[in-house]
Structure 1
Amino acid sequence: MTPPEKPLSAARMDRRDQMTEAFRPEHAPASHPAVPREKVGILVANLGTPDGTSYWPMRRYLNEFLSDRRVIDYPRWKWQPILQTVVLGKRPFTSGKAYRSIWNTEANESPLMTITKQQVAKLKTVLHERYGARVMVDFCMRYGNPSTQSKVRAMVEAGCTKILFCPLYPQYAGATTATANDQFFRALMDEKWQPASRTLPPYFDDPDYIDALAQSVERAYAKLDQAPDILVCSYHGLPYRYLMEGDPYHCQCVKTTRLLKERLGWGDDRITTTFQSRFGPEEWLKPYTVEEVAELARRGKKRIAVMAPAFSADCIETLEEINEEIRESFEHAGGESFTYIPCLNDDDAHIEALAGRIGSNLGGWLT
């Protein structure tokens, strides 16, 4: 009778995993070092987050963010003196206060970091079920930590000969998708042996993404005693000039709202598109959310719901700006009922939509 197999100790499991992951290439001499087995990396990217809410962590984060020419494209000689003195002299204090109002004190991190970790944990489970150990799933931030460079380096060291880079922005914009891709390409420049690479296209019109948005609206409305008069789809703003220069973001936002309206079976009077988070003196995409919700209240729309389809995870712009500043604008104008519908975050329908989109972009690499 064969004796029962003893459970593996942690050390034995580590040695077994190392033997599975690393091997000496066929026909290589005995002195050849073991190399990791080839894998496909799936690197999810989000905007970023400060490491803390005090002055210096906030200043480092804002300096990196606001120095990005994709975000603020004014000439450096004109913008940097203003940024380094006026903006970074004051804004770390006000931004730090806003972050403290939503900070995850238990984990000592921003909600964006907490939610991104949750999203990636679920994505790992789904993608490992489909592809097994052939994929490595991780995340990085465009600004702050963990950096794109550090995660690309880790994937290469782990044996990823191919990387699918996945910015979590449904709608493409130069200030979001493009700058994340820029940073990914910069990281590849540091690699002696570059992995083959792809970037995930925008998915603003993906049926599964639209369906996930619609389900979130239906769930939120089902909890209310009375349906809101109108749903405000508030997207992050951009300077109007960017639209005139060829950025497709505005058009993709408008299409997302239209597809959501059609999926819900609504008329035009039940949903609208607005833009939030203005910065600087020039004109941005309109209508501005903070002004439009007040105008809706004055026009008799006393019950509204607001969602943010351009954000894959709740963050400072949704938890603080929408749920506090924009809510106050609506209520001060006479609004009576304000419902914020959370971002898709780690909702199962959202994870399935992302996994499907990722899978469709792995063609030729994995089946």
Structure 2
Amino acid sequence: MARTWSRWLPAAAVPLVVAGSVAFAAQAGADELPERTPAEILTLLADRDHQPFSGEFEQTSDLGLPQLPGGVELPDDAAGDAAAVTAVLEALTSDHSGRVFVGEQDQARLQVFETFGERDVIVNGNEVWAYDSGDNSATHTTLPADADATTAAPGQQYRPDEVADHLIDAVGPSTELTVREDVEVAGRAAYDLVLTPRTDATLVGEVAIAVDGETGQPLRVTVTARGEATPAFEIAYTSLDPTAPDADLFEFTPPAGADVEEVAPPSDQGGDASASAQHPEPSVIGTGWESVVIIDAGATGLGDEPLLAQLTTAVDGGRLLGTDLVNVLVADDGRILVGAVPLERLQAAAAE
């Protein structure tokens, strides 16, 4: 089943779908893999088939992003943009671990462990659930019969295969592809495919994807900042089980007392005009590693969030939230510009 890589995210933007499953088989050690060129490994990635499996994973981040100030608490009525800022910062600054279960087509479950609970995303046919045990809350969406549930569920940033599929979109004239010495990840022999930007106009030094030598499954993704020796971001499977998970794992009933919210599925028919005004679609300037995403956040007031102000520094044209791998410019006119690029690139994009 060929895959289509049609979505681009900046390589360091660090993003549960069913598409990344894998057909397992007995395999020799890493030093016994047949030699393959980068193009052949890309083909192996693209042609991987669906097969149920389960696995455990770990994500580590060291982006150089300032930690949240001690004692920061959102007001009781905080929601929407303020909560979104906190959630994004927490995802970028914290390490995560969890489990993935993939069943039949359109059937998957992601569990992300936290100190005092876990977050779950469950896809079962056209039913999508998201549950947070921390506050015993759940959201539920029923998608139209012809909708693709694999693109509707949140949490994609927590799966090595999903991160790899987004990053592989960077492959093109702006990227040099090489293959390093084979590696072993989660007990599987893997090719170490390296993506190196051919431009200095990016904060990314390289991306390395460990590709299962037999199945084409991405097993680990590391992103290293330019000029650094150790990865700033890594997500990897630590164990894999090729047997089909119990079907009951994809059935979800909210616990007693849970606060359940029904969410309307996304619409391609124009949708709610007011909702579109509050959450405008971002635009993209540039291509590949030099891409800059621009969000017109003036209607949301996101740039005025006190928490964001605490973590940014004043620069020409706005305020900067800088990390080793991604920069965020909150422009004076309310726009937010994001890219795996130097500040000067964001400022130039803001002036276009």
Q: TM-score range by the shorter chain?
A: under 0.3
Query: Counting helix residues as a fraction of each chain, which structure ranks higher?
Result: 1
The structure that has the greater radius of gyration is: 1
Higher relative contact order (CA 8 A, sep 6+): 2
Q: TM-score, normalised by structure 1?
A: 0.24
